Amino acid sequence: MRWRLLWVLSLLFIPVLSFYGRNLQALLHSLLQRQYADLLVSLMLLVMTGLFLAWLSSKRRIHWQSALVVILVFFIGPLFLERFEERIHFILFGLLGFSSRQLFRYFPALLLTYAVSGLDELWQWWLPDRVGDWRDVFMNMFAGFVAVWIAERGRR
């Protein structure tokens, strides 16, 4: 039940952020200075990284290689991105990929994550204040792939 809820929320939140993202970004910038917005998103990434590691540990499937991949992809790697908005891709598509694998087999989960990634950026081409970006598609697909892989590691 919790996986379905996380999956549905991910599927709903992605287009909502695409549509209202610029307005939410402006609101966040008006409420917080840039370094605090960066810190907030970084903390969200840290929490998600910790949850992935705790889940793998609870399944007794944590190996140093898995832990290293999780830490590099969902915490350290995104910190090198210039804008905090780009880091949110890892949160959204990481959660989508992970919850998709909890509900579906490996390849359907991966294909679904890739399809949502491409469709999200395609939709942004049609929005007046957004621009679809291949770099974003790559980040979405990469985060989704690693999250599906993590979920798969925990299932074996």
> Which of 155 and 76 is assigned the larger pLDDT?
76
- pLDDT tens, position by position, 86-122: 899 999 999 999 999 999 999 999 999 999 999 998 8
Q: CA 111, CA 140: separation in Å to the nearest integer? A: 12
Q: CA 124, CA 148: separation in Å to the nearest integer? A: 24
Structural tokens at position 113: 């994550």
Return the pLDDT at 93.
Answer: 96
Mean pLDDT of 20-42: 86
CB of 146 closer than 8 Å to CB of 94: yes
Q: How many domains does the chain have?
A: 1
Is residue 130 pLDDT above 80, yes or no? no
The boundaries of the domain holding residue 91 are 2-155
Return the pLDDT at 105.
Answer: 96
pLDDT tier, 49 (very low <50, low <70, confident <90, very high otherwise)? very high
